[in-house]
Structure 1
Amino acid sequence: MGAAWVAGVTRARGMLVRRLGVPGARRIAAAGTLDDALHELATASSYRCPASDAAVPTLQREVTASLLWHLRVLAGWLPRRGVECLRLLASGFEIANIEAHLRRVSGSDVPQPYAMGALSTVWNRLAGVSEPEALRAAVTASPWRDPGDTAASMAVTLRLTAAARTAARIPPAVRWSAGRAALLVARERFVHGRPLPATAVGPAVGLLGPAAARASTYDDFRRSLPATAGWALHGIDDPADLWQAEGRWWRDIEQDGLRLASRARYDMVPVVGAVAVLSADAWRTRAVLELVADDTAPPEDFDALA
């Protein structure tokens, strides 16, 4: 047991105290106005809250940016192995930056990138790239490998690669990563009706097996999944209902994370658990803000998030 692990685990557990949680999210969902909801959010949690006249996507981005900031702070308390774990668990932020940068160099207006700091794998070297071809080459030369030659292939490949890298390096996250891969592939194949990009087949096979990767129907796909991934689609008989599985995936990793974070040990496991809980809390908070801003959303819509 090293002093850095003791400090890092203690810090990670302490960060859970200021999460919103289901009770806090219920209070926000019951707020009369978005302004009231943001006041409650600022009072009850550690999320940064911009002015209530900001667009909902801006408010949601502030929630995820707050999560990233806390992960960067946590990284400062951890030994190198802990920082490597956080870098993998925070890879969604880097993927968002890469995708936005591709749109930026193609001439679109996009938000400012997330500040990755020490949690960057390749982003700190990509920010100055100004051509789409150069961006792909730089990503290909990194641990991300070839992301494909279109925005659509990049979106699928990077996310499956992130899941595969996380499963390979963080044993407690294998089930989460495989479940996430099953959801991604099912949505791509059987909702959007697109074949997997060639660059995404490798990580998909690694997580789901060759039979699932080549399945031609949704039923065959579900039957072919290993147990580590099949749980994510349990009870989802129609691909149109995959959005329900997405919410369940988040709720499951939150419960798993709470169990891991409470383990009486000072190593990677409680840290991974705390990050899972904080990530699920940010997902729920973003969703609740969207519900509050939608005057037509019935109150029972929150039940899908709790």
Structure 2
Amino acid sequence: MTRARALRTRCLGAEGIGQVASAGGLDDALRYLAATPYRRDVTPGTTPAEAQRAVSTTLLWHLRVLAGWQPADGTDAVRALAAGFEISNTEHRLRALTADPEPPGGQRLHPPPYRLGALSIAWTRVAAARSPSELRTALAASAWGDPGGDPPAAIATGMRVAAALRLAAAVPGAQRWAAARLALLLGREVFVVGRRLPDVSAHRAARLLGPRAVAAASYAEFRQALPATAGWLLEDVEDAAGLWRAEARWWDAVERDGRELLRRARFGPQPVVGAAALLSADAWRTRGALELAARGGGPGDRTGDVFDGPG
């Protein structure tokens, strides 16, 4: 518990995030970050995408350290909270499998994969896949389960649905986080993008959201059918076009709950979950602040509007 609480010092915090967001440009923001826990690989001249990825890499390292201090149940909880990194790796692997093998000029199209260590679920097998169908087979043979289709969108969505279920099962008290995150995913996929979930993913999503919400024909029906564990996130989001606001609200709740877990818990995985939640929320806000800095700077409280990173 003491080690988990000590990791709070690795957060930039509201003041630091505000400094990054209000910087006059990206290089100024990176010079500020060079004296913070996010200093790795954030030198002036880095692109916004590279800087944001460096922040995520720092978060992953902190989560790996946190997991390394834990017994099995604590490691499982951190692995569930870090599932977005393996999803990101898989998405990039899918793009590499479907891209031109010899791009003009030889420029790098895909970043190196995140180094997951003990937080990996099936990455070694996924990384070895030579086609989207092989990748799907590797997932189906793992704890991820069959995503229900070969297209990259089906695989990515299937993994995110599976991640939500794992979060609810492996992280004490996280069912509210998992259900709300899944509601946001489903709302975007179906009512913004216009893409129905594969049957396998729909059946899984129904375990947290209920069959009525998953089968809803309209956003209004979907919102009305959500259980209380998810409905709070969309409480005043009256149409699908406003779902972007729910992302920041979700992170606000994760951060608030994480702080409470660290304050109140004494034993078990709760302090670990609290530390991981605070670190993750801080990294998300810092990435958003970098986006604002790259646009010329702005109020720090807008950082929730601009980034949907690894969850």
Distance in structure 1 (CA, Å) of the matches to 2:181 and 2:198: 17
More displaced stretch, 110-119 vs 77-86: 77-86
Aligned to 2:301: 302
Q: What aligned pairs does 1:83-232 form with structure 2 within 5 A after superposition?
A: 83-107=75-99, 109-147=109-147, 148-232=149-233
Percent identity between the two aligned chains: 49
Aligned to 1:238: 239
The question of 1:58 aligning with 2:50 is answered: yes
**Which SS does the other structure have where 2:145 is aligned?**
coil
Question: What is the CA-CA distance between 1:126 and the residue it aligns to?
Answer: 2.3
Distance in structure 1 (CA, Å) of the matches to 2:238 and 2:46: 39
Distance in structure 2 (CA, Å) of the matches to 1:301 and 1:239: 25
Distance in structure 2 (CA, Å) of the matches to 1:300 and 1:54: 22
More displaced stretch, 122-131 vs 76-85: 122-131
Distance in structure 1 (CA, Å) of the matches to 2:132 and 2:22: 45
Aligned to 1:4: none
More displaced stretch, 172-181 vs 23-32: 23-32
Distance in structure 1 (CA, Å) of the matches to 2:285 and 2:135: 33
More displaced stretch, 131-140 vs 223-232: 131-140
**Which SS does the other structure have where 2:143 is aligned?**
coil
Aligned to 2:104: none
**Which SS does the other structure have where 2:35 is aligned?**
helix
Residues 170/46 of structure 1: CA separation in 2 closer, same or farther (3 Å cut): same
Distance in structure 1 (CA, Å) of the matches to 2:269 and 2:39: 25
One-letter amino acid of the counterpart of residue 246, structure 1? E
Distance in structure 2 (CA, Å) of the matches to 1:124 and 1:45: 29
User: Unaligned 5+ residue runs, structure 2?
Assistant: 101-108, 306-311
Query: Is the contact made by 2:34 and 2:42 (CA closer than 8 Å) also made in structure 1?
Result: no
Q: What aligned pairs does 1:12-91 form with structure 2 within 5 A after superposition?
A: 12-91=4-83
Number of aligned residues: 296
One-letter amino acid of the counterpart of residue 305, structure 1? G
Distance in structure 2 (CA, Å) of the matches to 1:81 and 1:177: 18
Distance in structure 1 (CA, Å) of the matches to 2:194 and 2:21: 35
The question of 1:285 aligning with 2:286 is answered: yes
Distance in structure 1 (CA, Å) of the matches to 2:300 and 2:10: 24
Distance in structure 1 (CA, Å) of the matches to 2:265 and 2:193: 44
Query: Is the contact made by 1:172 and 1:272 (CA closer than 8 Å) also made in structure 2?
Result: no
Query: Is the contact made by 2:289 and 2:300 (CA closer than 8 Å) also made in structure 1?
Result: no
One-letter amino acid of the counterpart of residue 124, structure 1? T
**Which SS does the other structure have where 2:193 is aligned?**
coil
Tell which has more relative contact order, 1 or 2 (C-alpha 8 A, sep 6+): 2
Deviations 1:243-267 (A, max 9, x none): 1111111111101110011124121
Deviations 1:67-106 (A, max 9, x none): 0011111121111111111111111001111111111122
Question: What is the CA-CA distance between 1:207 and the residue it aligns to?
Answer: 0.9
Distance in structure 2 (CA, Å) of the matches to 1:151 and 1:269: 35
Question: What is the CA-CA distance between 1:44 and the residue it aligns to?
Answer: 3.4
Question: What is the CA-CA distance between 1:125 and the residue it aligns to?
Answer: 2.5
Aligned to 1:5: none
TM-score, normalised to structure 1, is 0.92
More displaced stretch, 74-83 vs 55-64: 74-83
User: Unaligned 5+ residue runs, structure 1?
Assistant: 1-8
Q: What aligned pairs does 1:246-285 form with structure 2 within 5 A after superposition?
A: 246-285=247-286
Query: Is the contact made by 1:213 and 1:221 (CA closer than 8 Å) also made in structure 2?
Result: yes
Distance in structure 2 (CA, Å) of the matches to 1:260 and 1:113: 31
Distance in structure 2 (CA, Å) of the matches to 1:259 and 1:27: 26
